[in-house]
Structure 1
């Protein structure tokens, strides 16, 4: 199911959400200009390498300094290809504007970064010694989806569903759409773990990000911090 739009229109211009989308696109375009080898070096420098972060958290933090954890943030703005980028930005476009509208721009900015970090940690916990870099905004966006699940459960999501050679549009309650999405991430996470352990997609980052978004949504509601 590919989300096309929802039926909730934000009351304020989603400046931060558009800035995130623009920044992701600009950084990817820069990656493209580096060529294959340069782009690979760029990813290994600013992507999250679980093995490195595990070593840092295990005792090297005082030697290397907090800057050694910067990839936990920078990796959120890197992508491995056009489809990777477009897919992530589509989800951010559909769901992110409402979360910014509800949290306020500053809170949304901080929550997005925090959820991206938690998502990366979720991936690291699942495979702490992996030398393969993790990149992509999907973990942070999973957090956006989790917050949306709490804050807009009865919104309607228009989704494109492929049926063989045909496509159809279906309007689905956000709660159902996002619950199905989350269960699919858990299923793929478990499947990857019981398989050969290799993960082309960081499923546990999606799970961790979504759970962090649920927490953000619940805290916002409990403390009465929502402005929507």
Structure 2
């Protein structure tokens, strides 16, 4: 008689242990940058940036045409070596001040360099994965979109006359980082013992006072805030001078993700089973 225990059949370990929607998101960002780098002519790539990146000055002039003179004056100031080019571009923006509302989201699809897109992809994999597993694909996408728009809005408010195109998925990634911080740093419930193949229990979101008592979470939030503030004083090699990655966009996305995540959490999915441990009464994981 075979007395060995009847272990569940182990599935093959995937190469990329990420939800499909996160893998697809990273693949899309890499594919778009590869297309720009290796396929599109420079003229088409410039047109793509003008049409899809966020230009704060374009929004400012579209909303308040009286700001055109202030924009031209700001463009002519600064480094004299580039003042002429900035002034020409400013006159173009003034002559075609259409707001292009889609750019509040599409700027996240463009990046300044391979380092920039890879940097964002790594953080997206790390913090987008737990959010996607907890909430599902469409809530993950909605939260990233809201963070992207919030980051763009804060950037326009704080730097309304900027002619530097805003690019990068950092604001959306920051929203996912903030959302993950609401639940990933909690210790496991005391006395819980589940097998490696079983689904761990779904941790409730921590309230803000609870989060502030969690040393790991506070350390993470503090490091993120200090690092993000450095973006305001340190120039990183993430792309050309015309492709700015703004710290204020990161901050806007982070705040949006932190505050709005409870609204999109989807508490009815992936919850605890009948025995309160994420499994049904027979010890099988709830899927």
- Fold conserved (TM > 0.5)? yes
In structure 2, which of residues 35, 42, 45 is the aligned counterpart of residue 36 of structure 1?
Answer: 42
Aligned pairs for 1:102-181 (under 5 A) are: 102-154=134-186, 173=216, 175-181=218-224
The DSSP-based 3-state class of the residue aligned with 2:100 is helix
C-alpha separation between the residues in 2 aligned to 1:141 and 1:132?
21
Counterpart for residue 29 of structure 2: 24
Counterpart for residue 70 of structure 2: none
In structure 2, which of residues 222, 226, 243 is the aligned counterpart of residue 183 of structure 1?
Answer: 226
2:58 corresponds to 1:52:
yes
CA root-mean-square deviation: 3.0
Larger RCO: Structure 1 or Structure 2 (Cα < 8 Å, ≥ 6 residues apart)? 1
C-alpha separation between the residues in 2 aligned to 1:227 and 1:132?
43
C-alpha separation between the residues in 1 aligned to 2:119 and 2:176?
14
| Paired residues of 1:76 and 1:136 also in contact (CA < 8 A) | yes
Higher strand fraction: Structure 1 or Structure 2? 1
TM-fit CA distance, 1:97: 0.9
Counterpart for residue 209 of structure 1: 253
Deviations 1:173-208, CA, capped at 9 Å, x for gaps: 45523431123213544x48xxxxx99430000111
TM-fit CA distance, 1:45: 1.4
Q: TM-score, normalised by structure 1?
A: 0.72
TM-fit CA distance, 1:37: 3.7
> How many aligned positions are there?
189
Q: TM-score, normalised by structure 2?
A: 0.58
TM-fit CA distance, 1:58: 4.8
Counterpart for residue 15 of structure 1: 20
| Paired residues of 1:139 and 1:208 also in contact (CA < 8 A) | yes
C-alpha separation between the residues in 1 aligned to 2:158 and 2:109?
21
C-alpha separation between the residues in 1 aligned to 2:135 and 2:119?
24
TM-fit CA distance, 1:152: 1.5
Counterpart for residue 167 of structure 1: none
TM-fit CA distance, 1:220: 4.5
Larger radius of gyration: 2
Unaligned runs of 5+ in 1: 1-11, 156-171, 193-197
TM-fit CA distance, 1:13: 6.0
